[in-house]
Amino acid sequence: MKKLLTSLLFTCSAVVPSLEAVYQAPSFNFDVAAGYRQDHFRWASRDPSVPDDLTESVTWKNLQIADFTAFATYTSCTGWYFRANGDYGRIYDGHVKNKDYLQTSSSNKTLIEENKANGGKGEVFDVVGGVGYRFISNGGRLALAPLIGYIHSEQHLHIYDVNNIFIIGQAPDGRVPGHSTYKTRWYGGFAAWDMLLDWSCDLKFFGTIQGQMGQYRGQGHWRARDDINGYINHKANYVGFTGTLGFLYRIFCNNFFGISGSYRNLWTHHGKQKTNRTVYLLDDFGWAINPQGDDEDFEQKFHARWRVWSVQANWFIHY
């Protein structure tokens, strides 16, 4: 971690030679924000024991979220920079699509079954903390802070009102009973640049670019398929990035109002899925003809991707 911070500091001085470390009065900034957020999350598993790669994918699409954020920074008189922020969002609308298919090549897929469902319930949240060193431009208008820290993010997702719209060799089943849940955890370290630019006495611009990597854990309680006995566990590594940009305008004294936008893109690699399933005797179409089966633990390959964008109104206080 020390090597990473040293590298960021060296890059800062090399790329932006007009920045310098300065002694100044300690400062504290506090920002609260509220707005709209949209998540798109997909995971897929593949069974390497099946010759034609039986694949299942589940997509939560256009999850609409009411999002609330709190953000605080403190800079010491010697330039040390501390940042803590978190957000909480409530999902109020969204859709889920579940597909099972055989993939014989990268361009040849045979759809086996497709379900659509409602995903408009649940919650999301993030907790972030980091430390770095802030550099000030010679004119005092631009502040850049490289920092490193820890981030923990979660999604608590739901699948309900499932509707079977396609099943190979059979008529669709229509409404499928059951309510499934899926919980994600993305946690690990990050390295970031925080920027604050005083464009004028009353106008400020701010931004963050952040890269992160760590561990992914997913746990589902499944009710939409007869062969899965209650749970799905996912484990993987992940990498990704987040970018934020916004402006602030002074409304009185040290209080500013502004608008900000953010984008996040995370994806996993080297993932595994574990489930307990009932093994049926299958016919030529791959459907169970023996309702009595044995329960077995299955391990499959897994990957996931999470994309987020948001727009918020900010109230910023500078001390």
Tell me the pLDDT tens digit for each residue of 154-173.
999 998 888 876 665 565 56
Q: How far apart are CA 267 and CA 314, in angstroms?
A: 29
Residue-level pLDDT at 114: 77
Confidence of residue 120 (pLDDT cuts 50, 70, 90): confident
Residue-level pLDDT at 228: 56
Q: Which of 221, 112, 69 is nearest to 156 (CA)?
A: 221
Residue-level pLDDT at 241: 97
CA angle in degrees (0–180, nearest 5) for 42-47-50: 140
Confidence of residue 115 (pLDDT cuts 50, 70, 90): confident
Which stretch of DSSP H or E encloses residue 7? helix 2-15
pLDDT at 292 over 50: no
- Strand extents, DSSP E, the chain: 19-20, 27-46, 54-75, 80-105, 108-118, 122-133, 135-137, 142-167, 174-176, 180-198, 203-221, 228-252, 255-282, 288-318
pLDDT above 70 coverage of the chain, percent: 72
In Å, how far are 128, 169, 239, 262 from 210, measured between CA atoms? Answer: 12, 48, 11, 11
Q: Are 217 and 234 in contact (CB under 8 A)?
A: yes
Q: Over range 176-202, report the average pLDDT.
A: 91
Which of the residue ranges 22-26, 41-45, 169-173 would you say has the lowest mean pLDDT? 169-173
Q: Which domains does the chain have, with CATH numbers?
A: 2-318 (2.40.128.90)
Q: How far apart are CA 220 and CA 184, in angstroms?
A: 9
What is the overall mean pLDDT for the chain?
Answer: 82
pLDDT at 291 over 50: no
More confident residue, 229 or 87: 87
More confident residue, 295 or 248: 248
pLDDT at 66 over 80: yes
Q: Over range 101-118, report the average pLDDT.
A: 69
Q: Which of 256, 263, 260, 264 is nearest to 245 (CA)?
A: 260
Residue-level pLDDT at 160: 86
- DSSP assignment of 196-224: EEE-SSSEEEEEEEEEEEEEEEEEEE--S
Which of the residue ranges 167-171, 174-178, 301-305 would you say has the lowest mean pLDDT? 167-171
Residue-level pLDDT at 2: 45
The single-letter code of the amino acid at 12 is C
pLDDT at 36 over 90: yes
Q: Which of 61, 65, 67 is nearest to 41 (CA)?
A: 61
Give the tens place of pLDDT for each residue, 93-106: 999 988 877 666 55
Give the tens place of pLDDT for each residue, 192-241: 999 999 999 899 999 999 999 999 999 988 765 555 556 788 999 999 99
| β-bridge partners, 295 | 278
Give the tens place of pLDDT for each residue, 67-84: 999 999 999 999 999 999
pTM for the full predicted model: 0.82
Give the tens place of pLDDT for each residue, 123-132: 999 999 999 9
Q: Are 19 and 144 in contact (CB under 8 A)?
A: yes
Q: Are 224 and 98 in contact (CB under 8 A)?
A: yes
More confident residue, 248 or 109: 248
Q: Which of 135, 12, 10, 83 is nearest to 244 (CA)?
A: 83
More confident residue, 44 or 217: 217
CA atoms within 13 A on the CB side of 172: 12
